Structure formats: structure tokens, C-alpha cells
Chain A
Amino acid sequence: MWTWFHRLASPPTFYRLADRYSPWLAVLSLLLIGYGLVGGLWLAPPDYQQGDAFRIIYVHVPAAWLSLSGYVAMAAAAAVAIIWRIKLAECVVVAIAPVGASFTALALITGMLWGKPMWGKYWVWDARLTSELVLLFLYLGVLGLNRAFEDPRAGARACGLLALVGVVNVPIVHYSVEWWNSLHQGSTVSRIGKPAIAASMLWPLLSMTFGCMAFFGWAVLRRVQNDVLLRERRSTWVAALLGERKAAGHV
């Protein structure tokens, strides 16, 4: 188990594995998102209360889920990077930040578009909206901090520390804002047993969620690959790899 882990954490092995599997993630995400969009935007019936406006959940809910779980994943990678000083985990921290920030922004924008017809306002100071906004600020803080460093390793570790402090803060922010005020509608899917949503609406939503997860994984893998190449550009394995590519006619 540990030898496998160490082998995976070595940049050349990781690079080859990621190169082989990330196209499959891309295909998977395209298929799932394609089915989710068709099923959600055309096949699912309109909601009895919200009409067609409810269809925004097919983008909004996966984006909101990924924004939070992306932050937790970034913090987990940060813990690995700081405790075991694994270079690859540092690359993962830096790679997740922009992708997670994009999903957070997407969740906020789609939420605002939905809020206008439903609540009559683009923005209300509600608990979930506010904590999502703070989450975006936390992501942007990580991005800004990383950009300020010249040495990529020190920058990635500083970002990791910030992500770890931030992940402790996220639940505190969430519950403090909830205590402050809440207007957002309750969760419709997570109730175990009987979800409060019809199956014809639920399947496209789950498909969209897994599709977005695959997309997230694909984007992060590609970013990590780029970062690894850039950091190790003077090493022999990169030179060997590029030589291989040149011989095969890729470059």
C-alpha cells in the first residue's frame, strides 16, 4: 500500500498515469453532462410551483456541491503536502484553487439568476448565499497568495496553510450566518430514503453531478500535469518524455 502510494506520488509515474486516464474522465464527463442537460432541460417535466425556472438546479446544485467539496479536497491535499512534504500534493492544492473558484462563481451567478424570478431579487443576505460568497473570497485569497510568491514550493505550502485554516472556518461561517439569517429553500435531495423530488427530475441531476465531478477531476489532473512539467522542466524524465513525443510526431 505504502510503496504504491509513494510510487504514485513520484512525478513521472503520476504524469504517465494521468496522461493515460484523464481522456477517459473527459469522455465520461461529456457523456454524463450531455445526458444531464438533455434530461434536465427537455425531458424532465416543469415544476408545479416554479415552472421552468427550477431547471437551473441542473447547473446550480452540482456547482454548489463541487465548490464546497473542492475546498475540502484542497484542504486534504494541503494536509498531505504539509505533513509528508509531498511535492505532488502541493501541485494539487494549487491546481484545485482556480477550478473550485470557478464552480463557486458559477453557483453564485446561477443562484442569482434563479433568485430574480423566485424571490424578486438577485441577491438576499441569506445564510447559504453569504457563506458561498465567503467561500469565493477564501478561494480568491488562495489564488492571490499563490500569485504573490516567486518560489512555487513556498507559495504552494503557504496556500496549503491558508486552505487548512479556511476549512476550519467554513463551518463556523456557515453556522454563524445561518444563525444570523436564513431564507434559502431547504435541501431537496439529501433526505435519505425518500427524496422530495421526482425520479424524472432526479436522474438528470445526479448525472449532472457526477459529470461535473468528472470534469472537475479532469481539469485538476491536467492542471497538475502542467504544473509538474513546469516545476520539473530541468529533470531528465521530462526531457525523455519530450523526446518520446517528438519521435512519435506529437510535438
Chain B
Amino acid sequence: MFAVFAAALRRELRLAARHKGDWLLPPLFYLIVVTLFALGGKPNDPQLSAFAPAVLWVGVLLSALLNLDRLFRADFDDGTLEQCFLGAQGAMPVVYAKLIGHWLLGGLPLSLIAAPLALQLDVPATVLPTLLAGLLLGTPMLSLIGGFAAALTVGLPRAAVLLPVLVLPLIGPVVIFGAGAARAAAAGLSAAGPLYLLASLLVAGLCLLPLAATVALRNSFD
């Protein structure tokens, strides 16, 4: 089972190495969104740092949504995915590999680029470790929920419009705890509580959501 998972993950990474635009463009989009946010306010507004956690988090969510509808699409269209369901191990290891691959190529670079963006928004350097820890715990959750929604809509012609409406309400708690941890750290309080809650959400999501995504994919074959 692990061999199937590792092979599927290697395949994801190799495909990404050949289509560099797929994972280089979302960080660029993130950069532009945050810049436009700063342009929308007064120049050098001291209030900007108060809103920085919210801006950084929403920016990450929007950027990670960009390549979501292509997560299962190509493999669904050419029949690869259906073959995965027929294998002895079932499709579960492949689904796990796809979701983790989506995070490695989407959530991880976006979280890392959030650090320089945070400095640009005047976030104190002491808050950076908490912000980064929150993003690293929260963005996998986005890949999991987003992967489930992508699996639900994989056969549909207008999936790209529908996906954000399905994903964003479900991601609310992650934003509250993630941005809340950064705000707590900025206020000089302990951010351990929200970070633990984020971690527990991630554990629950990692157990349940790939299963839901597999059932949703099977539904689209019937």
C-alpha cells in the first residue's frame, strides 16, 4: 500500500517538474493580492499590521484555490483514475498522494512566501514563527477540504466556479484559529491554544477527508 502511495507521489512531483507554471503562478498571484491590499489602504498606514494576519491568510486560501480544479481533472478525463480504483489497493493511496502532492506544491511554498510578505505588511519579526507554524498546520487542511470538493465536482463542466463556494465556508475554523494564533502572538499572549486546535483539526481531517474524497470520486464514475 505504501509502495502505491510513494509511486503516485513521485508521479505527481515529476508531472509538476514538467509543468512549472502550475505551482509557480499561485505564489505570484499571492504576491499581487497582498500588494493590492496594501495599495487599497493609506500609504504606510500603521493599521495595516493589525489586519496583516487576515490578509495573509485569505491570500493563501485564494491562491491555493487556483489550481484546485485540475487536481483530479486530467486523470479523470484520460481514465487513469478509474484504473486506480480497479487496482488491488483501491484508490485510497493515490488520493492521499494527490492531496499531499497538492500541499507540497501549493500550501508549502505559499506558507514560506508568507514570511517576507508579512515583513512587508509590518508584522513584527517575533510573530513570524507563530504565523508560519499556523500556516504550515492550516494549509494542509485547505488541500484536504479542497481535494474533497474537487473530487465532488470532478466530472462537472463548471467546477471552477463552484469550488470556492464549496470550500470557503468549510475552511472558516482554520482561518479563525490560524489568524487568531498570529494575533495572539502579536498581542504578546501565548499562541499555543489555537495552534493545538489547528493541529487537532488537521489530524481529524487527515483521517476522514481522503476517505470522503475517495467515495466522492467513485460517485462520479457511476
Q: Which A residues contact B (CB, under 8 angstroms)?
A: 82, 134, 137-138, 140-141, 144-145, 148-149, 153-154, 157-158, 161-162, 164-166, 168-169, 172-173, 176-177, 179-180
Residues of A within 8 A of B173 (CB): 169, 172-173, 176
Which chain A residues border B162 with CB–CB below 8 Å?
Answer: 144-145, 148
Give every chain B residue within 8 A of A165 (Cβ-Cβ): 145, 148, 170, 209, 212
Contact A134/B219 with A158-B152, A165-B209 known, Cβ cut-off 8 Å: no
B216: CB under 8 A from chain A?
A: yes
Residue of B nearest to A137 (CB): B169
Are B153 and A145 in contact, CB atoms less than 8 angstroms apart?
Answer: yes
Q: Is the CB of A154 within 8 A of B220?
A: yes
B177 at the interface (CB under 8 A from A): yes
Least CB separation from A130: chain B residue: B172
Chain B residues with Cβ under 8 A from A134's Cβ? 169, 172
Known: A157-B219, A169-B170. A180 touches B180 (CB 8 A): yes
B199 touches A (CB below 8 Å): no
A148 to B163, CA, bound (A): 11
Identify the 5 closest CB pairs spanning chains A and B, nearest first: A137-B169, A176-B173, A176-B176, A141-B166, A158-B152
With a CB–CB cut-off of 8 A, which chain A residues contact B153?
A: 145, 148, 158
Task: Check B45 for interface membership: any CB of A closer than 8 A.
Answer: no
CB distance from A164 to the nearest CB of B (A): 7
Interface residues in chain B, defined as those with a beta carbon under 8 Å from any beta carbon in chain A: 145, 148-149, 152-153, 155-156, 158-159, 162, 165-166, 168-170, 172-173, 176-177, 180, 197, 201, 208-209, 212, 215-216, 219-220, 222
Residue of A nearest to B159 (CB): A148
Contacts of B156 in A (CB 8 A): 148-149
Q: How far is the CA of A166 from the CA of B148 in the complex (A)?
A: 12
Partner of B208, one of A157, A168, A179: A168
Residues of A within 8 A of B177 (CB): 176
Q: Output the nearest chain A residue to B219 by Cβ-Cβ distance.
A: A157
Residue of B nearest to A158 (CB): B152
With A148-B156, A162-B152, A168-B208 in contact, is A176–B172 under 8 Å at CB?
Answer: yes
Q: A84 CB to closest chain B CB, in angstroms?
A: 14
Question: Which residues of chain A come closer than 8 Å to B197, judged between CB atoms?
Answer: 176
With beta carbons under 8 angstroms apart, the residue of A138, A157, A161, A168 that contacts B169 is A138
In the complex, which of the residues B153, B170, B208, B209 has the most CB atoms of chain A within 10 Å of its own CB atom?
B170
CB <8 Å contact, B219 and A180: no
* Chain A residues near B165 (CB-CB < 8 A): 137, 140-141, 144
List residues of chain B with CB within 8 A of the CB of A172.
Answer: 173, 201
Q: Is the CB of B169 within 8 A of A154?
A: no
Query: B residues within 8 A CB of A154?
Result: 155, 219-220, 222
Contacts of A173 in B (CB 8 A): 172-173
Q: How far is the CA of A162 from the CA of B162 in the complex (A)?
A: 13
**In the complex, what residues of A have CB within 8 A of residue B159's CB?**
148
